[in-house]
Structure 1
Amino acid sequence: MNPTAAIHVAKKQLGLDEDTYRDLLGRVTGKRSAKDMSHAERQAVLDEMRRHGFKAGSNGSRKRLEGRFAKKLQALWIAGWNLGVVRDRDDAALIAFVRRQTHIDHVRFLVDAAEARKAVEAIKAWLAREAGVDWGEGTDKPAWLREPGAQIAMAQWTILANAGVVDRSFYAFRAFVEERAFRPLGQMKAGEWRGIMNTLGERVRKVR
């Protein structure tokens, strides 16, 4: 794969929106378009994207399940994998879980919001109970910590701290995120937590 194509695969894999993607290019090379870069500049961009979690050889994203509520369910299932709670990340395991909760054979047949809520809330309750995820959205929390990705990352950090792998302090967590993020903690966008969760997930699965 040529570097330009690899950059676009990495953009998709990391879940970068257009503004964040352009900001990254500009920060690394001073240019906001990959087509204007030299080969060395494109390689520098790829190196930066790898540092933030891009895995070469991936097709850029996990195949999406069909269905009105499939995207949310799949995201929660992968969050469970990254928290060391879900042992089988395959979609077949998610489908089986949804079947047990709703008695509906496949997520593509899950069209009723009330039925979908049963499965969503069951996964969230599982992750809260087994991994300590705090799903609260109260105004006492900073805005960034009301994002599900941030809530999952905080739970991952606590798991690692309890295992003696990382410093428990908030300052250590913030430093970790900001070293790998494309912007300060308070300016993180929802999609940008994906790379953080995946990076922490590799470490969490080793200790759980």
Structure 2
Amino acid sequence: MSNHIAAIHVLKSKLRLDDGDYRALLLSLTQKASTKDMTDRERQQVRDHLQGLGERLGMLKPTRRRAPSRSFAQAKAEATPKERKVWALWNQLGRDGVVRDTTGKALNAWVERTVHVTALTFANDAQLDTLIEALKSWQHRGEHHG
């Protein structure tokens, strides 16, 4: 637990985030204003988000990624109901021939373009609702053009 919290605070400092911006970021990612109130998964999400932000801004060197501690299949199995709904709609669009690439990488690229978070697992509840509605609209359009 404290490992993630310490890393988050180091990243906050390196990114020169003031307390207001930091708290707003925490709230947008987890709906919680303090890392102490978060689950370990939420802390990991914040840590990964801050690391990615620093890398994209050129303020941090890319980390050498270790193999993920859980497989993609495990991540899907541990997904929330809304995340599973996104996956189900995404895969159905693939089966319908609307989406050519149904991989997790392709889904995360679409998620980033759509709601501006780097992966489905980082989407908050409102962003997941947006993704679900966008996929339903896409599916509806596909039915009329297929």
**TM category, shorter:** 0.3 to 0.5
TM-score, with length taken from structure 1: 0.32
Tell which structure's C-alpha radius of gyration is larger: 1
Q: TM-score, normalised by structure 2?
A: 0.44
